[in-house]
Amino acid sequence: MTPEFRFRLNATARAIAACSLAFTLAACSSSSNDDNEAPPATETPAPEPEATPASLKLSLLGRYETGKFGVSAAEIPSYDAGTKRAFVVNALDGAVDVLDMSDPAKPVRIGGLDASNVAAGAEVNSIAVHDGLIALAIQMADKTQPGYVGFYQADTLAEINRVNVGALPDNLVFTPDGKTVLVANEGEPNDDYSVDPEGSISIIDISNIQTPTVRTAGFQAWNGKEQALRQAGVRIFGPGASAAQDFEPEYIAVSADSATAWATLQENNALARIDIASATVTDILPLGYKDHGLEANGMDTNDEDRVIDIRARPGVLGMYLPDAIAAYGAQGKTYLVTANEGDARAWGEDNQDYFGADENTAGDPNLGFVEEFRVKHLVHDKGVARRQGDDLPPQLLALTERGLLNPEVFSYCGAATTATGGGETTSGDCREDEELGRLNVTWTLGYQTDPATGEPIMFNKDTGAEDPTGTAIMYDNLYSFGGRSFSIWDDTGKLVWDSGKQFEAYLASDECKLGPARDIDCKLYFNSGHDEGDAMDSRSDAKGPEPEGVELGTIGEKTFAFIGLERMGGIMVYDVTDPAAPVFVDYYNSRSDWSTEDVESVAGSAGDLGPEGLKFVPAAQSPNGQPLLIVGNEVSGTTSVYDLGQTFASST
């Protein structure tokens, strides 16, 4: 029973009671004419419209601390208005912490939910709550095995039911009408890729929660179309993987009419469009690439110089690779908002036998797959083999002896395919740390291939000339991870707007301030890591501030986007009411201790590090009558509650 329904029921009971106390039954009736006409209907007054703020300014209202640092003890939050409880996935425990939010300034843990009764070793991955009903995504101890979605009551925490779904169920959402739950089954492979289950979307009809039914929107219809998908811009590159195996849905968003869903296929740099009624994946939407050669998309690429150097990098294309996605309506259409994190595919990265025991021993390609590699090592004159025993993926060594950079694209930093005095081609300053050398890119993309077969075109490693017997490949572009931005797309996956370099530019500005009191210069800790102290610039070679989570909130007539920066930390806020022209509103980072080298030693006082999931609570559902933002921080193990600090335009 919803709080609103309870209110209506109580109001009706009060009216009946008042009527029974009247002197006569007639006194309770408004009809006083001889024809006994029905009384005029009494309409319930429409609720007062919510005021529309001119702006927002975040501040820390409250915090719950697990006391666990760097072990993902707080990740995905959700909220139930009826019980005034927050539910936060604690990945460390594979369970959910239940927090009393009656006083949002002082969240208190009052219980937990786990999956111990489902199966031995089962863990909770994600959570969603709707109108007193909790849905949990539960993975098995062997993540390649089918998992479950479990349903629980928000007030008693009692289990209601559970259903089988696909392998590694993660993000899950209720449709706006509350009749369906969708869960993204990632279907990740095991570390050596010997088992690679198919990804899918489970669509669960909960019209009758006692007998839920499950249908599966899979990707098998795209098997056999891998080359066409690649040519369209979809990344399919897992070892021996079909499209259905390679697609790993990450996050889901649903249209306001509960008819259509979109799932991010993060590593594939694409979206899947799903028709909910038929449980069918109707389209795969490639997202394209971000041109970092444009000044508006400039980036810093060096993590060691401790210098902020945001500028255009011709020839470098960013793969959006979005994590979280959200949907909203504007101007009669549905728009999608993505946080362009940029996760690389990395399996077996902790197995030294995959990379080789030493510089003279090749690694074993059957033990994993890692696509990330630094530019300077990819195009080094002495070839990629010099990295054996360190970070050389054996699949790269099998592909080429050395990478070359196309001088027509990279001439600005000295790339050439003419022989140098030493008899070898050079990539010039492009491989130097101050230019592109430190940047992490994927070696799987950007080199010249035969359009008909997709096979690499080979070049002579010394002369740079095309040569069928050569051992080098020629890169026309370098593809970096993530967009360092958030984007807005239409419902067909067409880019409407991207924040470009705005995140990094703002973090480098004099205006940007850190800490609860906003009194620390952001630029002193520009592109820092979430588990590091005094680490200015340390993430510039990777994904910069690394936006990961996104949440939308409507206040009055405006829609705001809240974007969590996983590495730098903090929350970016934009007014996205006009999808084609979002406006920056605020940035707030509650981390207070930035200079201590050993961050874990001050974990209890450092503040919030590594925002993962975000949940907007509208004023009508909030325990204090004000809109709130709840954030799970995976590194600090804290759940933070932010006041939105609304300001309103003057009425004069």
Q: Which of 141-150, 278-287, 332-341, 425-434 has the lowest mean pLDDT?
A: 425-434
CA angle 352, 356, 358 (to 5 degrees): 105
354-399 pLDDT tens trace:
999 888 888 999 999 999 999 999 999 899 999 999 999 999 999 9
User: Is the Cα dihedral 156, 158, 164, 170 positive or negative?
Assistant: positive
CA angle 30, 36, 38 (to 5 degrees): 60
Categorize the per-residue pLDDT at 433 as very low, low, confident or very high, splitting at 50, 70 and 90. Answer: confident
**Is the pLDDT assigned to residue 423 strictly greater than 70?**
no
Strands 638-643 and 628-633, sheet pairing: antiparallel
| Residue 105 CB contacts under 8 Å (≥ 6 apart), including other chains | 61, 62, 641
| Residue 186 CB contacts under 8 Å (≥ 6 apart), including other chains | 167, 168, 169, 170, 199, 248, 249, 250
> Tokens in use for 366?
């059957």
Q: Alpha helix locations (H) across 331-391?
A: 352-355, 375-378
70-126 pLDDT tens trace:
999 999 999 999 999 999 999 999 999 999 999 999 999 999 999 999 999 999 999
> Tokens in use for 457?
């075109």
Instruction: Report which residue type is found at 8.
Output: R
pLDDT at 601: 80
pLDDT at 124: 97
> Tokens in use for 57?
């300014």
pLDDT at 31: 35
| 485-497 mean pLDDT | 98
| Complete edge-to-edge strand list for the sheet that includes strand 571-575 | 547-555, 558-565, 571-575, 583-588
Distance CA 563, CA 556 (A): 20
- Report which of residues 455 and 418 the model is more confident about: 455
Distance CA 147, CA 560 (A): 34
**Is the pLDDT assigned to residue 561 strictly greater than 70?**
yes
Categorize the per-residue pLDDT at 415 as very low, low, confident or very high, splitting at 50, 70 and 90. Answer: confident
pLDDT at 302: 95
pLDDT at 425: 64
> Tokens in use for 513?
């301030």
Is 270 within 8 Å of 234 (Cβ atoms)? Answer: yes
> Tokens in use for 290?
């971000």
* Whether the predicted model's global pTM rises above the 0.85 cut: yes
Mean pLDDT of the chain: 91
Residue whose entry in the numeric block shows the structure tokens 């089954």? 185
Categorize the per-residue pLDDT at 346 as very low, low, confident or very high, splitting at 50, 70 and 90. Answer: very high
> Residue 443: phi, psi to the nearest 5?
-80, -10
583-593 pLDDT tens trace:
999 999 999 99
Burial class of 423 by CB neighbour count within 10 A (0 to 12, 13 to 18, 19+):
exposed
pLDDT at 417: 65
pLDDT at 221: 98
pLDDT at 434: 79
pLDDT at 27: 34
Q: Which residues pair with 586 in a beta bridge?
A: 573
**Is the pLDDT assigned to residue 1 strictly greater than 60?**
no
Is 574 within 8 Å of 582 (Cβ atoms)? Answer: yes
Distance CA 313, CA 309 (A): 11
Categorize the per-residue pLDDT at 429 as very low, low, confident or very high, splitting at 50, 70 and 90. Answer: confident
| Residue 232 CB contacts under 8 Å (≥ 6 apart), including other chains | 284, 286
Alpha-carbon distances, residue 88 vs 183, 271, 634, 635 (angstroms): 17, 27, 11, 14
204-223 pLDDT tens trace:
999 999 999 999 999 999 99
pLDDT at 414: 83
Which candidate, 248, 253, 283, places its Cα nearest to that of 267?
248
> Tokens in use for 310?
């945001």
What percent of the chain lies above the pLDDT cut of 90? 83
133-163 pLDDT tens trace:
999 999 999 999 999 999 999 999 999 999 9
